[in-house]
Structure 1
Amino acid sequence: MSEMARSVWRYRHFILSSVKNDLKARFARSRLGGLWMVLQPLAQVAIYSLVLSRVMAAKLPGVTNQYAYSIYLMAGMLAWSLFVEIIQRSLNLFVDNGNLMKKIFFPRVCLPFIGVGTALVGNAFLFAATVFIFAIVGHPPTWALLWLPLLVAVNVAFSLGLGLLLGVLNVFVRDVGQIMAVVLQLWFWVTPIVYTAGILGNGFRSIIALNPMYYIVTGFQDVMLYGKAPQLMPLLWTALGSVVLLGLSFIVFRRAAPEMVDVL
């Protein structure tokens, strides 16, 4: 692991330039460019808000802002969009870069960090737009936002750990990408983003409690909507599990890397 960390540090300029080139290629010939990273999730929030705001607004105790449900949604979507972006990029990371891996010598461990870097840039734009919209609707930022770096770090660790394992597996079994497209849709609905966990029965709530994204999303909502610290003990266990998963994924990646190049 220390050797992989040193490789990432030595090739940090390669990673940064690759992130920059990836963003340029993603929005080439697009008039709105990087704004699409913000407009797409905000459009989804607007749709859910229009459909469910009157039903769900009363389910948010302790909040008097008439746009409380929209704020709740945006906070949840900020966490979820980062998770999905990293998962989706990690799934096809090695398949899409197969020729690059064969023709150019560089530490293969750089590829996951390029994907994470691109996802973080997009999420930063979405965060800036979210805070700006919050201020417009009368919900200015609070000191609780200082908890966000921790929440983002846990989110990235869990997303990259899971995504890297799936990405390695997808090299050998291409059905993994198709299956995960369905799994992510189901996962979205067992995470309290559109609804609140308080409206659920005890049985379903116990199932959701097994979902690591539940604690990450709830942390974002606590910080951004309620202006309070996230629940630290559940978040701590989620963080520990994410670090273990991340370490395991890098071990699997390191052992599978030589075979991956041959398969690709």
Structure 2
Amino acid sequence: MLAAVWAYRFFILSSISNDLRVRFLRSKLGALWMVIHPLAQVLIFALVLSEVLAAKLPGIDNKYAYALYLMAGTLGWTLFAETVSRCVVLFVDSANLMKKMAFPRICLPIITAGTTLVQNVFLLLAIFLVFAALGHFPGIQVLWLPLLMLITLMLSSALGVLLGIFNVFVRDVGQVVPVVIQAMFWLTPIVYSLDILPPSTRAWFQLNPLIPLIVSYQNVLVFDTPPEWASLGWLIVASLGLAMLALVVFRRASAEMVDVL
């Protein structure tokens, strides 16, 4: 499969380009919509928390501290949630393509991952501009950001491919995943800090595997501190294992998926 990916690399790149172009072909604002939606959500949360509730963020002296914190967490969460959500329905939505064209099926999730990564890079650039406008400039620790994005993409792609395969055979999976993602959003410290939780509750929240990843985004973008490497180590290992499992399951189920679809 890896050799097939390399052989079809130009097909993958052109498909990513076409996917992005088609999504915004008839839109006046074009690619700006890739960043308007998440930034609008951040603005709403920041307004409610910072202005209405007068919430303060420990460790950072900035009037717009919560807006910075929210944008950092939203960057990682958007990449994860968007990749998983698109991969879950990927094979069902691509049924006609899989039946009528002869190409390595593994190209489909790679195209999806590449598209979401490009969108996330645009969002990152927009966030940097907003940071500068608010008077906040990330420090040297921001150089860890590409690695964090790679970890996020690997974890979300592997999980999304597995769920996408299951969704082909049991369509309820596609209905359940959005609900779980919504719950995961509130169980992850994006709009709040773990420090405000009671110790007993915090212990349960620590079971969320996304917490060290999202906290690492916030560390490097807002607090200029290193990522949570102690917790990220096992997450990287788990992501690699999940990716290998997804490849094995995909290879075995690929032909049967076409028949079911």
Confirm or deny that 1:240 pairs with 2:237: yes
Name the counterpart of 1:178: 175
- The equivalent residue for 1:257 is 254
Specify every segment of 5 or more residues in structure 1 that has no aligned partner in the other structure, as ranges. none
Match among 124, 134, 137 for residue 137 of structure 1: 134
Partner of 2:226: 229
Q: Tell me the residue number matched to 2:67.
A: 70
CA distance in 1, matches of 2:187, 2:259: 38
Q: 1:56: how far off?
A: 6.5
Corresponding letter in the other structure for 2:135: G
Instruction: Describe the superposition over 1:66-122 as per-residue Cα deviations: whole angstroms up to 9, x where unpaired.
Output: 111100000000000000110111011111111111111111111110000100111
Q: What is the match of residue 165 of structure 1?
A: 162
SS in structure 2 at match of 1:28: coil
* Equivalent-residue separation in structure 2 for 1:57 and 1:114 (angstroms): 40
Contact 1:135 1:141 in 2 (8 A): no
2:33 is aligned to 36
**Structure 2 CA distance for aligned equivalents of residues 65 and 143 of structure 1:** 19
Aligned to 2:6: 9
Alignment-derived partner of residue 18 in structure 1 = 15
Moved more, 202-211 or 215-224: 202-211
CA distance in 2 between partners of 1:161 and 1:119 (Å): 14
Query: How far does the alpha carbon of each residue in 1:168-227 deviate from its partner, in whole angstroms, 9 at most, with x for none?
Result: 000011111111111111110000000101111122212221111111100000000001
What is the distance in 2 between the residues matched to 1:34 and 1:56?
A: 34
The answer (yes or no) to whether the contact 1:56–1:195 under 8 Å persists in 2 is no
Residues 161 and 246 of structure 1 are in contact (CA less than 8 Å); yes or no, is this contact kept in structure 2?
A: yes
Give the drift of 1:6.
1.3
Q: Secondary structure at the match of 1:152?
A: helix
1: CA distance between counterparts of 2:247 and 2:208?
22
Matches of 1:215 and 1:61 in 2, distance apart? 18
| Whole-angstrom distance in 2 between the partners of 1:56 and 1:156 | 34
Q: Quote the offset at 1:141 in angstroms.
A: 2.7
| Counterpart contact for 1:158–1:245, Cα < 8 Å | yes
Alignment of 1:113-152 (within 5 A): 113-152=110-149
What letter matches 2:28 in structure 1? Answer: R
For 2:109 and 2:54, the matched residues in 1 are separated by 38
1:100 and 2:97 are equivalent in the alignment: yes
TM-score scaled by length of structure 1: 0.96
Mapping of 1:52-67 within 5 angstroms? 52-54=49-51, 55=53, 57-58=55-56, 60-67=57-64
Aligned twin of 2:185: 188
| Residue 88 (1) aligns with residue 85 (2) | yes
Distance 2:6 2:229 in 1: 31
Give the 3-state SS of the residue equivalent to 2:210 in structure 1.
helix
Gaps of 5+ in 2: none
- The question of 1:79 aligning with 2:76 is answered yes
Cα deviation code 1:125-177 (max 9, x no counterpart):
00000011101111013211110011111101110111010000000111111
Instruction: Return the match for 1:197 from 189, 194, 199.
Output: 194
Where has structure 1 moved over 3 Å in runs of 4 or more? 54-57
Separation in structure 2 between the aligned mates of residue 253 and residue 121 of structure 1, nearest angstrom: 24
- Aligned residue number for residue 220 of structure 1: 217
The aligned length equals: 260
